[in-house]
Structure 1
Amino acid sequence: MTFVIVSDCIDSKDRSCLAQCPVECIYEGERMVYIDPDECIDCGACAPVCPQGAIFRDDELPEPLKGFEAINREFIEAVGDELSHDIVYPDHPSVAGAPPSAC
């Protein structure tokens, strides 16, 4: 079980979730943040502090947002062993090419 960050985070990036994560499994892209599913301990501390409501348990993802489970994983895999909380990484192609958010 893991948590997933979805499209409501695009161009919002409040970052409250980063401060709440006890294992620091959330990494920053240019337009949104992503959860490393292998590091997530399923504690749920991140979800209630997200003002956009952009964090879901993977087994509770609404159908239109299910693709974000793969987007989070693929972002982490693309960064690879160089993951750092001191770097803002290029986004997953699906996020980088998404239309600008109304926020």
Structure 2
Amino acid sequence: MTYIVNDNCIACKYTDCVEVCPVDCFYEGENMLVIHPDECIDCGVCEPECPADAIRPDTDPEAEKWVEFNRKYSEMWPVIVTKKDPLPDAEEMDGKEGKMDLFSEAPGEGG
């Protein structure tokens, strides 16, 4: 099993999860995070830290498509290990539908 980040993270990008990850498997895009599925050790400590409920186990019924999505972008984006402020409209965007339209492939700063 592994954990994934889904589209609930888009336009929010809370980073509470990266501080608790013991293996630094989070990667930062411009407006979301992903987890490298081969680096995740399935500890689950990140899942309850996400205010947007964007981190799910790969056993979740909707998670299958997100495993490869997370893999793809974790290989393109820089690792993130330090908590940062969420995006400016995070509270407003939390829970919104159709956020894939807002997704950016651009990398974040990492760090």
Q: Structure 2: how far apart are the matches of 1:56 and 1:37? A: 12
Tell me, what secondary structure is at the counterpart of 2:68?
Answer: helix
Shift of 1:66: 3.3
* Runs of 5+ consecutive residues of structure 1 not aligned to the other structure: 87-96
Runs of 4+ in 1 over 2 A off after TM superposition: 82-86, 97-101
Aligned to 1:5: 5
Normalising to structure 1: TM-score of the pair? 0.73
Q: TM-score, normalised by structure 2?
A: 0.68
Larger RCO, structure (CA 8 Å, separation 6 or more): 2
Q: Quote the RMSD (CA, aligned, Å).
A: 2.3
2:77 is the alignment partner of 1:75: no
Distance in 2, Cα, partners of 1:15 & 1:34: 11
Match for residue 101 of structure 2?
99
How do 1:4-83 residues align onto structure 2 when only pairs under 5 Å count? 4-60=4-60, 62-63=61-62, 65-77=63-75, 79=76, 83=78
Identity of aligned residues (%): 42
- Check whether the contact 2:24–2:79 (CA below 8 A) recurs between aligned residues: no
Cα contact 2:3–2:35 (8 A) shared by 1: yes
CA–CA separation in structure 1 for the residues paired with 2:8 and 2:52 = 6
* Higher helix residue share: 1
**Structure 2 unmatched ranges of 5 or more:** 82-98, 104-111
